[in-house]
Structure 1
Amino acid sequence: MSLPHMYADLQGKLTDRGVWSSVQGRLAARSRVTNLGVVMMTFALVVSLMLNMRHTTRIVHVPVAQSSGVECPERFGNVRSVLPVLPGYGKIKLTHLVIVAGHAVWKGNPSASITDENNWLLEEYQRNGSVNTFLQHIETGLGIAANDSASLLVFSGGQTREHAWLSEAESYLRLALHLSSNLPKWPQSALAATKSKSAFQPLFSDDATLTAAASTSLSAKSSDSTPNLSHLRMTSENFALDSFENLLFSIARFREYTGTYPEKVTIVGYKFKEKRFRDLHARALRWPMHKPATDGTSRFTYIGIDDANRTKSLERDNAYDLFLQDLYGCHHRLLEKRRKRNSARRLPPYTSTASEMAGLLDWCPADNSALQGLYPFWLPWDPRVNTGMGRGAQLIMEQNGGHIQQEEILPDGKKIVT
């Protein structure tokens, strides 16, 4: 059959009823699909599904320095490389986390009285007595940390006030520097390699508004009042928005600051919140409450100090029942309270700087799950990590590439081991 050379010839061929009848007949004819045909169609379907799933999966590429051919260091290694070596590294191991939970913001005005409520950003219910309690919390935390050379004092509290330019923790830390000379310092043996002076006096030590306890301690101090914060075992945690985050984020901050996790925790706060911390917050973190630390002391201690004029009607912990049903504070009223306190729109960095806790930091079980919603996966302070393991567990760990196996519960209720 010769090919058409003119458009009219091509048009004629396409409109030829005989040609179309032949094509239609072939399409409508019966045929038997062979096994080879089924296999080929199945293969094509699988390849198509894989390609579509590949495009819907988020893929994170590790950057490589193409110019030199050297890969980037281990995860977060370059970020953490800017941290200086701790003064007592290799000599003094920090194992004790002391937490002072923040409840308000001190404005930091040295010319005004510390106890003057106008120098604080307070809630209405915190007036007429709470400021003195805040000072007792700070001084108690300072005393505990100063008497334990293995401790790190962490003031915890975010930027919870709309009119505050500081976090609660930062204001407490500055107030501690202003108040007391009994600060937790590194021992001189740990500071032998440094050239800077270790003396430290409270800031604004000539201020007549200092408390009586702080004023009497100034006579024994040297004339050098230059602060050297690198010589102090104290820091701030600037993101916590409630009591649960005070505990959770302070542990993460300890990891960020020291590179390790604490063996024991001491919390200084309100007495009426002790039951909440012990029964709910520590349990939500699966903290080993009843197992002693390596030095034989308790791994969890709570020191409660309430307002002197607190009435019985105010001693009820209104948040206890809320946390009982919502252990991680990620639903309804507790979530709204966090949002209200976070007008500065801050997000903590601990999923990166304390990456072993990343799953816990983002954990949010179903609403009203209560104790059924406990975080089920591995945590750095699990007993099987901090203590010796049996030979069988060690063998399983070796077979799993040096990792402890974890169970993951799928939406359909099935369990898989990772």
Structure 2
Amino acid sequence: MNKQLFGQSSGKAFHAYPKGDFDLESGNIKKARKPKNLLLDPIKMLKTIGNRIHYYSKIHPLLVLLISLSFGVAILIMLSMYTSSFQMNVRRKSDASSSSYPYENLRNLVMVAGHSVYMSSSCGKVDGEESWFLETYQKHPGQAATFLMHIKEGIQIAAKDERALLLFSGGETRKDAGPQSEAQSYWAVAESQGWFGKQEDVRWRALTEEHARDSFENLLFSVCRFRELTGTYPHNVTVVSYDFKEERFAHLHRLAIGFPEARFFYFGTPASSTSKEAAMKGESAVRAQFHEDPYGCVGSLHRKKLTRDPFHRSIPYPNGCPELKGMFSYCGVVPYPGKLPWTQ
């Protein structure tokens, strides 16, 4: 007789009842129902949910109404948040596109230096001295015609170079002329003259630099203004002014800002015959002052700049041209020793 201890297995599992549900009365085995997977049948699932909602709405109508309202409010909040986020992204993209430089495709600068403020409201007699605010040393017959010649030449030079930005430069330098800048005066005269037949080609790329108080600032500020509008510094610079000022611009001022000589061009027009002798004498004296004070930051040149700022305009530069920040605070008799964008 084999004795088997409690807990020891015979090696085969014993099932008291077969798999499935066993009916003791009938002795039959009922097959277990397989659970329905509603996820595989979305239509039945929706019907089931609908039936349940309908059932509960009859038993607890107020509760179902509150749940439905809460669900609706939650959807509205989510839609509102999504709309706000979408509008913010659109606004950011719009701001990014608007912050780009409006003239980034232009690469050369044509600068016309201003010498007076146009006073006529009708823009009829642009070549008449009575239409301009003239200092005592400027009151000569034919003087106004020389201003008009500068404007015309600047437009024609820019018209020949489709990648040139034309800037009229000159601030609000005359107190009795009111808060009107030389640059804006020149632009208005160009407009009144139909841009000398070059309106469609030049007008859209002709702007102003309205803070310069002397010839050195005409050049430096226009280079900064170019940087503000294009995002880069000019490859070539062309200056339009009187022919007797060529040495001042092309040598003294160009050297002071360290701009390459091979990329600097000067176009000079003659002074009126009645003012030529006095103009040459005055130019000799001013040129000697810039020899001693290239940046116009001390002595008589500095005092002259103060008198040419009667409305105490705040100079915006070097904002817009941060690479030249060091030059704006420099005052010396030798050229600025720091790094410059066009020398790197």
- TM-score class, shorter-chain normalisation, is 0.5 to 0.7
What RMSD in Å do the two structures reach over aligned CA positions?
A: 2.2
1:358 aligns with 2:322: no
Contact residue 112 and residue 167 of structure 2 kept, 8 A: yes
Return the letter of the residue paired with 1:267: V
Q: CA–CA distance in 1 between the matches of 2:268 and 2:96?
A: 35
Q: 1:126 to 1:358 in 2, by over 3 A?
A: same
Within 2, Cα distance between the matches of 1:103 and 1:120? 10
Residues 113-163 of structure 1 show CA distances to partners (whole Å, capped at 9, x for unaligned) of: 222222211112212221000000000000011121010000000100002
| Paired position in structure 1 for 2:129 | 117
Identity, in percent, stands at: 40
Are residues 1:251 and 2:223 paired?
yes
Q: Cα distance 1:305–1:120, how it changes in 2: closer, same or farther (>3 A)? A: same
Query: What is the match of residue 97 of structure 1?
Result: 109
What are the residue-to-residue correspondences of 1:269-288 with 2, within 5 Å?
Answer: 269-288=241-260
Q: Does 1:381 align with 2:342?
A: yes
1:301 matched to 2:268? The reply is no
Q: Distance in 2 between matches of 1:381 and 1:143?
A: 26
The separation in 1 between residues aligned to 2:199 and 2:239, in whole angstroms, is 16
- 8 A contact 1:108–1:171 mirrored in 2: no
Q: Which residue of 2 aligns with 1:176?
A: 190
- Normalising by structure 1, we get a TM-score of 0.55
Q: Decide whether the 8 Å contact of 1:284 with 1:328 is kept in 2.
A: yes
User: Quick one: which of 279, 296, 299 aligns to 1:314?
Assistant: 279
What whole-Å deviation, never above 9, does each CA across 1:261-314 have from its counterpart, x for those lacking one?
A: 100100000111101112210000011103xxxxxxxx1111111223133343
Distance in 2 of aligned mates of 1:253 and 1:375 = 20
In the TM superposition, what is the alpha-carbon distance from 1:175 to its structure 2 partner?
0.8
2:310 to 328, 334, 343: 343
1:261 and 2:273 correspond: no
AA matched with 1:142? I
Cα distance per residue 1:167-199 (max 9 Å; x no partner): 000111111111134336569xxxxxxxxxxxx
C-alpha contact 2:166 2:205 (8 A) present in aligned 1 = yes
Q: Deviations over 1:331-359 (max 9, x none)?
A: 01000000000011012212221111111
In structure 2, what is the equivalent of residue 38 of structure 1? Answer: none
Q: Write the distance in 1 (CA, Å) between the matches of 2:118 and 2:234.
A: 29
Residues 192-231 of structure 1 aligned to structure 2 (within 5 Å): none
Correspondences of 1:60-99 after superposition (within 5 Å): 82-83=98-99, 86=102, 93-99=105-111
TM-score by structure 2 length? 0.67
Q: 144, 159, 163: which is aligned to 2:157?
A: 144
Secondary structure at 1:160's aligned position in 2? coil
Provide the residue aligned with 1:195 in structure 2: none
Cα–Cα, structure 1 residues 186 and 86, in superposed 2: closer, same or farther, change >3 Å? farther
Structure 2, gaps ≥5 residues long: 1-94
Say if 2:227 and 2:233, in contact at 8 Å, map to a contact too: yes
2:183 and 2:208 in contact (8 A); partners too: yes
Partners of 2:99 and 2:143 lie apart in 1 by 37
8 Å CA contact 2:239, 2:267 repeated in 1:
yes
Counterpart Cα distance in 1 of 2:239 and 2:123: 31
- Report the 3-state secondary structure (helix = DSSP H, G, I; strand = E; otherwise coil) of the residue aligned with 1:140: helix
Match of 1:327 in 2: 294
Aligned residue type for 1:238? E
Determine helix, strand or coil for the equivalent of 1:235.
strand
Pairs aligned (count) = 245
Corresponding position: 1:153 with 2:161: no
Distance, in Å, in 1 between the alignment partners of 2:207 and 2:123 is 24
2:102 maps to a residue whose letter is L
| Alpha-carbon distance between aligned partners in 2 of 1:311 and 1:135, rounded to the nearest angstrom | 17
Give the partner amino acid of 1:101: A
Note the residue ranges of structure 1 that are not aligned, 5 or more in a row: 1-78, 188-228, 291-298, 386-418
Which residue number in structure 2 is paired with residue 226 of structure 1?
none
Q: Which has the higher helix share?
A: 2
